[in-house]
Structure formats: C-alpha cells, structure tokens
C-alpha cells in the first residue's frame, strides 16, 4: 500500500487520536504512530501506539481492537527513522484581541495526564489568525490544532497552539487573561459534564485511584 507522508498526516488528523507522526520500519515496512489519548492508568504516558499502514484509514478502530502495539517512546526514537513530533519547544505569544466566550468550544473528549486536563478546542484557522495574529499556514492542507490545558491544583489554564504544515510543526503557548481564564474553565467544566457525564474533579479522583491501584499491583508483583 503506497501512501505519502502528507496523506498519513491527514488521516491521522481525521482520526483525532493524538499527536501525529509517521516513520519507516527497517526493511521498508511503513507504520504510523499516534500518542494514545485514553490514558486512565499511568503506565502508558511515555508510550506511543504503533499501527501498520494497512490500518491507517481506520485508526480509531485499530486502537480499539488493539491491532497495533504500545512501545516505549524513547526506544522507538532510537530504533526507527522517525521525525520526533512529540518533543516540542513552545513560543510564548500574546493575543491581539480577547477571546470571546461564545466562539470557543471543545471536541473529542478530554485527556487527563499528570493532573492536567487537556481538551481540543474548536478554534479554526481564521479565528487563530484573528485572535493571535499568527500567519503560519501556507497551503489549504495546513492547519492549526488548539488545545486548552487546565491545571486544577493551580486553578489556571493555558492554550497550546500547533501550526501543522507538510514540512513543519510550530508550537505556541498563550496564557489567557483573568476574565478569559474564568469562562474557559467554566466552559471546560460544562463540556466535561456533557461529554463524560461527570464533573472534572470526579474524573481526576478516578484517575488518581486507578494510578494508586496500579502502583499497589506493581509493589505486590515486584
């Protein structure tokens, strides 16, 4: 099955599983890779999900049916010809206007990792350029991914923006202003309740309980 890097990236974006990338295994066998979103137990946080190219067009099903394999991220970077899209340097930016409460929502659920709640926003390229003044996109196939990261312990949030093109990934971080912080946290809470059927704190408690149980099992088996 012949498929280009650009086509792989588009399909992975459509699947909306996580960070995107691709690489070639030794002997030329192509694979795609995605960071696994549904991380309810801490052992997966430094792993990536490896899927054969034949499953790329139905990546969500491949993950669900376990047609791929979890592999250690550090190991895979050494063993494969892979452009590391998981390591990133974020440039701090400011906005040229305030975010409006009615122009931002979320999609595809939430991810809780190391106590941080992450959600993909619905901000599109036009909104990103209008709010933040970014002009990164060159072609129709380029796009922005915009995430809200909420830290419940510190009760604050930040916005991460990824500009994605065929040959580049640029990362930006924006710290919302005080009034923006409030409605963003409220919107995330409302979305979480509607999508997960539970408030954020209840999900955090469940994740912590699962992680503690995993640690106890490791101690017993160790």
Identify the DSSP state of 110.
E
Contact 176, 193 (CB under 8 A): no
Q: In this structure, are 135 and 173 located in the same domain?
A: yes
101 with 175, same domain? yes
Q: Give pTM, 2 decimals.
A: 0.62
The verdict on residue 217 lying in a domain is no
CA-wise closest residue to 136 among 146, 127, 125, 121 = 125
Residue 221 belongs to a domain: no
Does 99 lie in the same domain as 77? no
Cα 177 to Cα 17, 48, 156, 160, 213, distances in angstroms: 29, 34, 10, 14, 38
Q: Distance (Å, rounded) from C-alpha 33 to C-alpha 111?
A: 18
Please indicate, yes or no, if residue 220 is contained in any of the structural domains.
no
Domain range for 51 is 5-82
Same domain (yes/no): 98, 31: no
For the segment 98-157, what is each residue's pLDDT rounded down to a tens digit? 999 999 999 888 888 778 899 999 999 999 999 999 988 877 778 898 999 999 999 999
Q: Name beta bridge partners: 51.
A: 32
d(CA 44, CA 37): 10
Residues 103 and 185 in one domain: yes
Are 102 and 170 contained in the same domain?
Answer: yes
- Listed residue (126, 144, 128, 124) closest to 95, CA to CA: 128
Question: 6-16 pLDDT, tens per residue?
Answer: 666 666 666 55
């Amino acid at each position: 099955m012949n498929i280009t890097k650009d086509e792989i990236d588009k399909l992975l974006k459509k699947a909306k599983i996580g960070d995107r990338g691709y690489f070639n295994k030794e002997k030329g066998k192509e694979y795609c890779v995605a960071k696994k979103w549904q991380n309810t137990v801490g052992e997966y946080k430094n792993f990536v999900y490896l899927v054969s190219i034949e499953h790329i067009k139905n990546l969500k099903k491949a993950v669900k049916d376990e047609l791929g394999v979890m592999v250690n991220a550090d190991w895979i970077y050494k063993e494969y010809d892979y452009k590391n899209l998981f390591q990133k340097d974020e440039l701090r930016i400011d906005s040229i206007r305030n975010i409006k409460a009615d122009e931002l929502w979320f999609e595809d659920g939430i991810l809780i990792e190391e106590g941080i709640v992450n959600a993909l926003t619905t901000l599109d390229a036009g909104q990103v350029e209008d709010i933040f003044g970014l002009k990164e996109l060159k072609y129709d196939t380029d796009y922005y991914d915009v995430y809200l990261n909420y830290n419940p312990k510190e009760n604050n949030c930040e916005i991460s923006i990824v500009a994605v093109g065929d040959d580049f990934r640029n990362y930006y971080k924006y710290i919302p202003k005080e009034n923006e912080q409030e409605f963003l946290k409220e919107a995330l809470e409302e979305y979480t309740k509607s999508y997960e059927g539970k408030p954020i704190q209840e999900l955090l408690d469940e994740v912590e309980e699962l992680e503690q149980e995993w640690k106890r099992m490791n101690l017993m088996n160790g």
